[in-house]
């Protein structure tokens, strides 16, 4: 939220992220439909909706999408959409009545939430047959044909902006505590082509750099200047690199009551998916 606010509002950065989220959405939408989460009559809430990329895409398969984000600034920049309603609010205290939704989604946002509280809220606002769909797109730090870039990401960039501790893709224990289990999981790789300045804008939106800025260890301008210098050799002007991203998708459902069976629980996709 506060960490993300400044940089996610950057127009160029937003375009890049939108592109990667679109890929994730394709997997999410088909999987949600496969699970029969209400299909075209589904009432959906997109939590941590940002500027509404996934919410807008979801609107095509849902009757109504409510898009919620902790940041009023993100909502102010949101894309619109006839059956999309935007709201400011937090994942840990969803401003909705019990049993209001068929599907809750969180796209590249779950790692910022208090997952115990979020999944507790999912349980409350979802119908008993409802689904939680989570997807996160990760930069693998690989550029095609450039081992030097990967080394720099691990050492040069990695030492300066180390991973933020405690951020979790999916906390299965937190989900289980609220009665959810992974019904299906998958992951897929995809390539994003970026110039040095586009890559620099993207790197400015990563949790690692945002954490440094948020804690006062760095400034936006300082990080941008450093990245510009560092990338000059790795990705000279006029060159576009092919960067590898990996997207993880999980679909969670309520654990069946004792004695009931429910196909798919942590079977099939989950083991085969390699998340
Ligand atoms: C990467 S953006 C999400 C992109 C968005 N899902 C989309 O499809 O375009 C992450 C968002 O999570 C929001 N966020 C972070 N913590 C939150 C919380 N506890 N509750 C609600 N939103 C939160 C941030 O404000 C930010 O807009």
pLDDT in tens, 252-270: 999 887 665 544 444 333 3
pLDDT (average), residues 162-177: 90
> Among 112, 114, 131, which Cα is nearest to 50's?
112
- Between CA 24 and CA 18 the distance in angstroms is 10
For residue 240, what pLDDT band results from cuts at 50, 70 and 90? very high
Count CB atoms within 10 A of the CB of residue 195.
16
Q: How far is the CA of 52 from the centre of ligand 1 (A)?
A: 9
d(CA 88, CA 8): 16
Atom of ligand 1 nearest to the CA of 46: 6
Give the pLDDT score at 269.
33
**pLDDT value at position 31?**
52
CA of 10 to the centre of ligand 1 (A): 15
| Angle formed at CA 157 by CA 155 and CA 158, multiple of 5 degrees | 60
- Measured N-to-C along each axis, helices 220-234 and 207-214 cross at an angle, to the nearest 10 degrees, of 140
Percent of the chain with pLDDT over 90: 40
Average pLDDT for 2-29: 44
The answer on pLDDT for 234 being more than 60 is yes
Q: Name the closest-CA residue to atom 15, ligand 1.
A: 1
Task: Indicate if ligand 1 lies below 6 Å from the C-beta of 20.
Answer: no
Cβ of residue 90 lying under 6 Å from some atom of ligand 1: yes
Q: Is the CB of 70 under 6 A from ligand 1?
A: yes
Q: Which domains are delineated in the chain?
A: 2-142+167-191+247-273 (3.40.50.150)
C-beta atoms surrounding 174 within 10 Å: 19
Task: Evaluate: CB of 59 within 6 angstroms of ligand 1.
Answer: no
Q: Rounded to an integer, what distance in angstroms lies between the CA atom of residue 63 and that of residue 52? A: 16
Residue 1 has pLDDT above 60, yes or no: no
Q: Is 86's pLDDT higher than 80?
A: yes
Does the beta carbon of 21 sit less than 6 angstroms from any atom of ligand 1? yes
């Amino acid at each position: 939220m506060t960490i993300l606010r400044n940089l996610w509002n950057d127009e160029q950065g937003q375009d890049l992220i939108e592109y990667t989220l679109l890929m994730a959405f394709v997997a999410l939408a088909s999987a949600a439909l496969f699970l029969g989460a209400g299909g075209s009559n589904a009432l959906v809430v997109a939590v941590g909706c940002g500027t509404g990329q996934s919410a807008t895409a979801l609107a095509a398969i849902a009757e109504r999408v409510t898009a919620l984000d902790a940041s009023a600034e993100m909502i102010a920049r949101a894309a619109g959409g006839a059956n999309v309603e935007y709201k400011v609010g937090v994942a840990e205290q969803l401003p909705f009545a019990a049993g209001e939704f068929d599907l809750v989604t969180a796209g590249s946002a779950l790692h910022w939430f208090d997952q115990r509280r979020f999944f507790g809220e999912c349980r409350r606002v979802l119908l008993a047959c409802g689904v939680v769909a989570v997807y996160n797109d990760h930069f693998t730090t690989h550029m095609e044909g450039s081992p030097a870039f990967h080394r720099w990401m691990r050492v040069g960039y990695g030492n300066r902006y180390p991973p933020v501790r405690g951020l979790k893709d999916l906390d299965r224990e937190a989900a289980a505590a609220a009665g959810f289990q992974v019904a299906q999981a998958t992951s897929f790789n995809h390539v994003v082509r970026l110039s040095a300045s586009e890559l620099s804008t993207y790197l400015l939106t990563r949790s690692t750099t945002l954490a440094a800025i948020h804690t006062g260890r760095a400034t936006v301008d300082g990080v941008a200047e450093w990245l510009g210098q560092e990338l000059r050799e790795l990705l000279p002007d006029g060159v576009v690199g092919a960067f590898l991203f990996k997207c993880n998708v999980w679909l969670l459902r309520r654990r069946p009551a004792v004695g009931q069976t429910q196909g798919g629980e942590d079977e099939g996709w989950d083991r085969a998916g390699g998340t």
